[in-house]
Chain A
């Protein structure tokens, strides 16, 4: 039985267990003076039996599936031909992969290479026995659990407490998924990055100025080292993000100021949702627009005034990204500006300042921490933005500060390195994870600082 079939069987058994448990509770109640004599409602007894049936079975399935690959691989290890094992770990895993693919359809009888056929047959045999064993085990455990709980049903049985305990446990585990996700991100990028840094020196990675991962495909090639200098990627990312912020911060901030301080309620009610549409448009749409409309227009305009503008210029990608971030900056700024107490504005008006003086010299300085927090969040978003730069920025790693030239970014390189055919152990692929680690760490720091600043700011005026 496949895993999904097994899951369905477990669910069906649990449903049956529920009805059986509920019926049993009714019967027990009937013998001892009616439903009110029970400590818990029949539905709770039913749920308890169902949980006893389902939960242990699920634990077994998940645990089994986690252990199975490693176990099978250990068992079949001696079937790998000696001449393959002799060539090292890398080759064994390549060989294994090849056989896995051959064995995927459950039949290797047409494979001509005898070693591969043998290994394939063993793999298939191991898998099928593992499947049978798991199926039997799961059904036994499900039935056993249900029977155990079923026998416990009695008048004083605190079924509600057990069920509620289980539900609480589910709630807590759901909340903990956030932590698991973060942990998963950290571990996965960290683990792969460490493998990368075994091949490429960390210092070289963060200080080198030449990025050319393609040359490193052949690990035996002399002089392939030195091509993983990520500085051009960092500067490219910074250049594009800076352009984006140069567009987004003034426009977003001025929009927020106008909406919060000047606009009539009618204008505000129309303009605000319209601005938010900009935030709801998928980034791939912006990328398409940047690559097919904005970038060529800029190149043509540059030609007209005698400037050479690359058709993948940092300027085009950065500007479109900036426009994408405008609503982000404006809604965060709007929040913090409206949080500034009216009394402070009154104090300024009472001294005879005009509205713009009040905004510029009193409201904005008071809201500054919140605005800075918002800008940091916007910066984090610009740095991590992927699709616009993948579609509109360049691939070549140029170390330049000229916004009219093409530059590449960290996210572009991650996508380029990881799409298409890949070999998981090569430095080229692992480099993507090292870049991902950098990206995660930088955005994490920005986010944590920004969230802290914004929270402190809110508390100040609450």
Chain B
């Protein structure tokens, strides 16, 4: 507050001890010690804030530095011979494909992997021996065959010819390329790859056959056991469905409850009970809501497990108190003069609220709703209880399909032993945080834009 107060005196007043009153003498004697305490106390405060913010910075930096590589994917260029024999496709099928009498789905299961392996062997003809070739094959991602299959199914005329294309590389060598590591000095690298594999990598790199591109797979795929194939699409869609249900349920109910409590509720024990209940529910551990969901909605009402609809119901029960409390604050901030003016024109109680008070309170209510939904978006524990913790590869098509959500995906990946999943987890967290920041920014903007000072 005051600068003078907290500044230690620069020197004792120029007075001889005999001039001083006993009080002055004693107070002067203690001053240095007291100002030292003052300074220490202030430092504690600054330290507490600095430490908290430092932790925040550490957390964010650690996650961003771990997660950034996941947004790119290393590709390697390979010349693949598409021999029918290797692929296990007969000429008849090829003819059928070309004249359109056979669907391209017929070659979905062809041995594209074999073709890629053959391409690798041709690229590194000097490699011999079973274990060496197997190590060689591992440079390419096991998902590369799907890319090749897609290309061939797009244009079957390449069958029987050679095709040069960019295929995703394995995550270990990919990570090294992304880090711009010096592949010519294997001793300095931290990797699970052996020196032989690194030498192959160096050869490819020198030939310009590596390329780092934006990782579209991460946003297009569902979960996978292979880190380089795993994506967050399914979790994102699951989160969207869950949040949609949460919004559809919690918003109208919360607004109605807030209107009742703020505008109509008589002051009696029932109202008191409701209020105490709402305040208390806001502080009940989220996992307890999960138990409620499991016991009531799944075991009693037999709603489907793992489905966004149940997740949405549970989360809306959880966010209701938050939205109700902020909606009541918004309604309370509308001045009584507005209500009196409307009532003076002969509007009924409900018309007063729905025509005048509610529209004016809406920005505040929406702000509270967005903040409540942001909380719901980050919630994990109750969803574990209702089984939204499944391994979901397919993108959910509706609110009753099995699904997972973004935070649960983070939880699942965090448990995986593969190192590349750490990267994915951090990246998923970044996406989650980006959504949360966007939602909170929207709430702040709404508040700034429509804030009224009555």
Contacts and interface: CB of A to CB of B under 8 A. Distances in A.
A168 B59 contact: no
B10 to A, nearest CB: 16
Contact of A384 (B261, B284, B426): B284
A175 B38 CA distance: 50
B281 A261 contact: no
Contacts of B256: 170-171, 174-175
A432 B49 contact: no
Nearest to B386: A418
B288 A275 contact: no
A386 B287 contact: yes
A182 interface: yes
Interface string B322-352: 0010000000000000000000000011100
A167 interface: yes
A371 to B, nearest CB: 15
B285 A439 contact: yes
B381 A387 contact: yes
Contacts of A175: 256-257, 260-261, 265, 274
A127 to B, nearest CB: 12
* Secondary structure class of chain A's binding surface, majority of residues: helix
Given A387-B380, A443-B283, A168 B264 contact: yes
A271 B49 contact: yes
Interface stretch (A49-57, A80-88, A205-213, A351-359): A351-359
The SS class assigned to the B binding surface is: helix
Contact of B62 (A253, A293, A327): A293
A157 interface: no
Interface residues of B, number: 90
B414 A251 contact: no
Contact of B414 (A288, A349, A360, A384): A288
B176 interface: no
B257 A289 contact: no
B41 A384 contact: no
Contacts of B377: 282
A117 B62 CA distance: 57
Contact of A282 (B259, B288, B299, B432): B432
A414 interface: yes
21 contacts: A69-B302, A174-B252, A188-B295, A251-B51, A253-B48, A254-B45, A259-B49, A274-B53, A281-B378, A282-B436, A283-B380, A284-B380, A285-B59, A288-B425, A354-B37, A355-B6, A386-B287, A391-B411, A391-B415, A436-B287, A440-B288
Interface of A: 65, 69, 160, 164, 167-168, 170-172, 174-179, 181-182, 184-185, 188-189, 191-192, 250-255, 257-259, 261-262, 271, 274-275, 277-278, 280-289, 291-293, 323, 326-327, 330, 349, 352, 354-357, 359-360, 377, 380-381, 383-387, 390-391, 411, 414-415, 418-419, 424, 432-433, 436, 439-440, 443-444, 447-448, 450-451
Interface of B: 1-2, 5-6, 27, 34-35, 37-38, 40-42, 44-49, 51-53, 55-56, 59, 62-63, 252-254, 256-257, 259-261, 264-265, 273-274, 276-281, 283-289, 291-292, 294-296, 299, 301-302, 317, 320-321, 324, 348-350, 374, 377-381, 384-385, 387, 389, 407-408, 410-411, 414-415, 422, 425-426, 429, 432-433, 436, 440
